[in-house]
Structure 1
């Protein structure tokens, strides 16, 4: 009997290939199908054995893959899944820097931060909400609230700037709709629900698991997408839950369980464990900010955690900080002692502490501060209602082209009571990212679907 040589195993119950089919060709197909089925069964058995090993660790000495994911969900986004990106770069300082987006939830009244000085429209429309005599002159006829005094020194260095009259036609006056559009870079139907910062990560290429980070308990819409951003309140909180006495043993067990399993989850878990390892290393040493930074308040503490990651070599490329309380329908208080003045002052102090703490590393960092919309020009008798034409604030280690950027054509003609849109929001976002990272126009175009990108001069 002729012995047929083949490159795949025969069906175990039928060593004679010709018995598998009426002819040689069909026998080969059936044998190959049987071999694939056997291989798949063996792989399923392998995962079943892994699962059994994990289940044996539920007696308090460790965690299972299931509880591993669930236990870390409060501080990271699905660690043992593809939400953790492949790490193809070391924990080295990036040459092109970091972009931090600070989002002010509620709708900041931009005219309480920067405004044209001695403007007749403002004197008539909001006499109770004008900036004080202690305001700081910016040039181009603008003045800055004294609330931003902690950052005043960066004006002379051309590192602090403001873009007035920023909006987009797609923004409504609903907080939720406008916040979505700002974070997604367009309407949900245009973007597929993907955040513009997550799309930016694509353009930046591979990096560490910390390349996109949201400081806070939930991930902002701007980082939602395919690149697996980490959401955390503090570096020390990024750890495995459970009895701390068994953390090292648990990490070792997880590493063993997810090594050489020939599955995409292996690389994701290894990346996650690398992130946990760096977080553990940073948390093991008490962090002492440099250059007198004190980091007071919740915004300050968020900047503190980012400084800790950046100085620790986590290679953060994009990051977010969110803070609320800017929906000032009443008791707005733009002058010293007022509630909006205090919030802006806390923000400015946090930014100042952050740059001071980073020292030389700050030259590679740009902070972009924005809100979902502005407020109406007229006062409603102590506050302001939802409106358009907000302001974007920039603090950058890379020098900017001036203290007041973009187009400004004055307030002589309002847009239904609002500051007109002289500068499109997504052109501002895109120009800031482009100059920070050296992107092409085509790369920026991909960040904002349905938006034809028009570059603005942002950096000097």
Structure 2
């Protein structure tokens, strides 16, 4: 039995101020809303597990003890503000009010520099554990948020199968844990498919509905066991997997709650839950987290005000707190950022940026050859419809992480694709 609903017509991952007709009227919360998922679904409280009819089981894992965290910047972040091409004169000519002065940039080399509000990430950069790959994205421009998200997360152009690249990565495992794939917030397209995936809004809320202080003798859970334990139906299998996943989170919940050390934002709270789960050593191999509201058609702002500085401050503070909180386990966690597309080169009349093409991706943590900028710079044009041209297919970045941090087959995870070597990751 398979349920594969389309993405909802309204998607709570993107903000209300984007100016896009397809995005109007949506919540700005960013990461803690529900979404459709593929596979048989069993929902208990805020916990959701998607189950295939025959979930994998075994003793081997292509992930080993490594964890990959995919942080999606929903709404199409402006990579030219995050990593500024200060040596390209078209950048300053095309952005008379929102360009970031060269003198304010961090970690500047002869071509690029970081947005100054990324300062919390400088220790990672200087330690060689943070890198940026510029001019990345889809091979062909796609300026529709939902269509681009799905194309990006399927990572299998031309396929009629609705299976995300992370679900295919999980499919290379004989999984030892129902927590191998974890979405903190929405289960998005990259996890769609037959492999089981768990989702929760926060670690504390990952529980069986009704199994709380109002039912101290656990009668509700006993009733569920009575109804499903002896059944061979797919729903019974989903229930058992859900119970195993919730029970399996006990070591994570036993870890110290350090959320006060993170920004008090959706992203900060989500990464606090991820860190606590990883510290619990419960078998998580792949995690997805969203940060929404990057669709800045208006009021992108300057270095003293506007929407960009708020998002960049949240992004940098949350990632820095995450790696600090992991302690020694930071050596087993690799984080990558991704966004569905970038923004136009030229600012619009509302001091914002319209939908573009190329973008930047950050890599942080284990295996990263950091402290430098990667990619092939195509140059910018100061013309109305100019884009940052994509010179590195985003799949090449993801493939390098998969190749160096897992034993999975790239041909399975990215069918029909031959990656271009980037050199941003060390082999395990």
TM-score range, shorter chain: 0.7 to 0.9
| Range with bigger deviation, 269-278 or 345-354 | 269-278
Q: Aligned partners of 1:180, 1:373: CA distance in 2, in Å? A: 12
The reply to whether residue 128 of structure 1 matches residue 100 of structure 2 is no
The reply to whether residue 457 of structure 1 matches residue 426 of structure 2 is no
Q: Aligned partners of 1:176, 1:71: CA distance in 2, in Å? A: 25
| Correspondence for 2:321 among 336, 353, 357 | 353
Q: Aligned partners of 1:397, 1:70: CA distance in 2, in Å? A: 34
Cα deviation 1:412-457 (Å, max 9, x = unaligned): 6989511111111111221122222244xxx212223343333332
Counterpart of 2:340 in structure 1 is 372
Q: Aligned partners of 2:222, 2:415: CA distance in 1, in Å? A: 44
- Give TM-score, length-normalised by structure 2: 0.81
Secondary structure, aligned partner of 2:47: coil
Contact 2:71 2:337 in 1 (8 A): yes
Secondary structure, aligned partner of 2:353: coil
| Correspondence for 1:222 among 164, 181, 190 | 190
Q: Is the alpha carbon distance of 1:309 and 1:393 closer, same or farther for their aligned partners in structure 2, counting shifts above 3 Å? A: same
Q: Is the alpha carbon distance of 1:83 and 1:98 closer, same or farther for their aligned partners in structure 2, counting shifts above 3 Å? A: farther
Cα deviation 1:45-64 (Å, max 9, x = unaligned): xxxxxxxxxxxxxxxxxxxx
Q: Is the alpha carbon distance of 1:207 and 1:243 closer, same or farther for their aligned partners in structure 2, counting shifts above 3 Å? A: closer
Q: Aligned partners of 2:287, 2:201: CA distance in 1, in Å? A: 13
Query: Computing the radius of gyration over CA atoms, which structure comes out larger, 1 or 2?
Result: 1
Q: Aligned partners of 1:287, 1:247: CA distance in 2, in Å? A: 26
Secondary structure, aligned partner of 1:129: coil
Unaligned 5+ residue runs, structure 1? 1-68
- Equivalences for 1:61-460 in 2 at 5 Å? 72=44, 74-78=46-50, 82=52, 85-89=55-59, 95-132=64-101, 133-187=103-157, 189-190=158-159, 192-216=161-185, 218-242=186-210, 244=212, 245=215, 248-255=218-225, 258-259=228-229, 268-280=238-250, 282-283=252-253, 285=254, 287-289=256-258, 293-381=261-349, 382-400=351-369, 402-411=371-380, 417-439=386-408, 443-460=409-426
Counterpart of 2:38 in structure 1 is none
Contact 1:329 1:385 in 2 (8 A): yes
RMSD of Structure 2 on Structure 1 (CA): 2.9
Q: Is the alpha carbon distance of 1:415 and 1:371 closer, same or farther for their aligned partners in structure 2, counting shifts above 3 Å? A: farther
Q: CA deviation at 1:459?
A: 1.3
Q: Aligned partners of 1:263, 1:412: CA distance in 2, in Å? A: 59
Unaligned 5+ residue runs, structure 2? 1-40
